[in-house]
Amino acid sequence: MAEPTVYLNGLYLPESEACVPILDRGFIFGDGVYEVLPVYAGEPFRLAPHLERLERSLRLTAMDNPHGRAGWERVIREVIHRNGGGDQSVYLQITRGVARRDHAFPAETPPTALVMSSPLIPPAAEELARGSTVITRPDPRWLHCDIKTTSLLPNVLLRQEAQEAGADEVILIRDGVVTEAATANLFLVREGRLLTPQQGPHLLPGITRDLVLEIAAAEGIPAGEAALDRRDLATTEEIWLTSSTREIRPVTRVDGRPVGNGEAGPLWQRLHAAYQACKDRIRAGEAG
């Protein structure tokens, strides 16, 4: 298999040759932001919303944007092309650049820009049918989780805790309110209504989250934001996790207890099918 090609600061390089200096602030401080977007049949999915969120993260961290939207699209499409097209997961990262170690922003330092890609492999049907097992934990993260920053150590520790507990993911609770999962947004089904935690600084504005709400509206399914707490997790009919590369995953157990009847629910099956139809339209050359 050919070595993947990455984009780094204006150059397209084999992955093994792409390196950054040890004084890059992304390495020293985690001073960077990122995006991940899926690609189907060589076509980036929901590219404009992903670039809008990237611009927002850069703006809120006072970081320079090394490309305009047209520039980012050219780079992304070139990386997709150089890595064979098809289905991919594309990762973008921008750091504040290379400078002497000092917490204050460096003056006139160009940002570091990276784009890389990996194959996007869908889950097996039996894996989806089995659903995800999750645990709940207090949310220990900072107060700006709406910024997609590379400073992910709390999320890393939470996912490791889930793995050691034999679970797939962690649902986070802050001051009694459900926020999101460590690496995904969250949906509940209550009395046939699809609910997701309210937008705010404690959770990431998810691109797939927004798409699920759009699909629900098109399907005539009542849906919206709501303040959710731990009790809702125990009494809900269905729970889903959503992200750009994992799409919509049903949760079948929370803290050892079954969700509903312990199987992927009927509303998830309906939304999952609609999401796959959206991908099929892209593969057929239609707008996504």
10 Å CB burial of residue 105 (0-12, 13-18, 19+) is middle
Tokens 């199987």 found at:
263
CA 169 – CA 135 distance, rounded (Å): 7
| Half-sphere exposure at residue 100, Cβ-oriented, CA atoms within 13 angstroms | 1
**Residue 255: which region, alpha, beta or left (left: phi > 0; alpha: psi -120 to 50)?**
left
CA-to-CA dists, residue 163 to 34, 78, 166, angstroms: 24, 36, 5
Mutual angle of helices 47-60 and 207-218, in 10-degree steps = 140
For residue 199, how many other CB atoms are within 10 A of its CB? Answer: 14
Q: Is 279 a catalytic residue?
A: no
CA 170 – CA 157 distance, rounded (Å): 10
173 touches 136 (CB < 8 A): yes
Compute CA 288 distance to the chain's CA centroid, rounded to the nearest angstrom.
Answer: 18
| Half-sphere exposure at residue 52, Cβ-oriented, CA atoms within 13 angstroms | 7
What the block records as the tokens of 169 is: 């993911």
**Which of 50, 53, 67, 148 is flagged as catalytic?**
148
33 touches 54 (CB < 8 A): yes
Residues tagged active-site: 148
